[in-house]
């Protein structure tokens, strides 16, 4: 009996993942995936040929932007795609649609992004410079998670994929511009934990990095809750 339940649950999870991937991977996502891979490969090659000494900390930026490209399309255009295909009204009729449909999809997106990130880091670790792929992947995924959840929340507020994309690009540029002035601040979204600021002691840097990671995690959770709250206001999506 127990085995049967286990098999039944495994089948359920497997099918849920495959069906949602069919929905998420439809249409344009494959282009963003290709773009992310090309971006990673291109930048890595350029970096290797440009620099005499290769450091893992310099590859952090490459990983982050590849990760952002992976989550950008599904997080920003997920709601819009359902609106365009007119499935949104049917989904609203499903009890707890917010969790069963969109929470599952957003979690799946980040899981897929993490797996692909492990692939990228493994390649870099083997071909360029050796490092711990799990540590680096986990560290890279935090700002990606923050920006991805922010995009998702904005997509439920703006309810238009193109509008959300524009706003997220503006925010992204804003955070990028602040990267240097906030180089030793816990509020820096693009803080590189593997490259301490030159004018900060090691102890202080560890504390700053820890606070920064807490800020990114808490922010991600808040964005997710806000998005789930926005998804209750069904009329605005019609």
Point out which residues bind another protein (CB under 8 A).
Answer: 8-9, 11-12, 15-16, 19, 22-23, 26, 85-87, 89-90, 92-97, 99-101, 184, 200-201, 203-204, 207-208, 225-226, 228-229, 232, 234-235, 238
Q: Which residues contact 156 (CB under 8 A, 6 or more apart)?
A: 79, 226, 227, 230, 231
Say what angle helices 133-158 and 104-127 make with each other, to 10 degrees: 150
Q: Give the closest residue to 112 by CA, choosing from 66, 171, 164, 61.
A: 66
Of the pair 114, 223, the CB lying nearest another protein is at 223
* Cβ proximity to another protein, 29 vs 63, nearer residue: 29
CB of 116 to another protein, least distance (A): 22
How many residues would you count in the chain?
238
Give 45 or 214: the residue with its C-beta nearer to another protein. Answer: 214
Question: Shortest approach of another protein to residue 8 CB, angstroms?
Answer: 6
Rg of the chain taking only CA atoms, in angstroms: 19
Could you tell me the smallest distance in angstroms from the CB atom of residue 199 to another protein?
Answer: 8
Choose between 141 and 153: whose C-beta lies nearer to another protein: 153
Supply the minimum distance, in Å, between the C-beta of residue 136 and another protein.
25
Residue 133 and residue 152: Cα distance in Å, rounded?
A: 27
Our CA dihedral for 194, 199, 201, 207, rounded to 10 degrees, sits at -60
């Amino acid at each position: 009996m127990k085995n049967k339940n286990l098999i039944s649950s495994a089948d359920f999870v497997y099918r849920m993942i495959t069906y949602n991937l069919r929905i998420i991977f439809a249409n344009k996502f494959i282009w963003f995936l290709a773009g992310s891979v090309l971006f990673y490969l291109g930048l890595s090659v350029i970096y290797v040929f440009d620099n005499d000494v290769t450091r893992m900390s310099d590859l952090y930026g490459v990983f982050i932007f590849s990760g952002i490209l992976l989550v950008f399309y599904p997080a920003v255009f997920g709601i819009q795609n359902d609106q365009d295909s007119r499935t949104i009204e049917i989904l609203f009729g499903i009890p707890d649609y917010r969790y069963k449909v969109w929470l599952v999809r957003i979690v799946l997106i980040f899981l897929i992004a993490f797996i692909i990130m492990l692939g990228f880091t493994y390649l870099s670790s083997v071909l360029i410079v050796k490092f711990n792929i799990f540590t680096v992947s986990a560290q890279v995924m935090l700002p990606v998670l923050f920006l991805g959840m922010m995009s998702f929340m904005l997509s439920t507020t703006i309810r238009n994929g193109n509008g959300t994309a524009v706003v997220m690009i503006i925010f992204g540029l804003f955070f990028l511009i602040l990267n240097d002035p906030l180089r030793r601040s816990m509020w820096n979204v693009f803080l590189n934990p593997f490259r301490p600021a030159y004018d900060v002691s090691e102890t202080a840097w560890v504390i700053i990095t820890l606070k920064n990671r807490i800020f990114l995690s808490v922010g991600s959770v808040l964005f997710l809750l806000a998005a789930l709250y926005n998804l209750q206001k069904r009329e605005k999506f019609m």
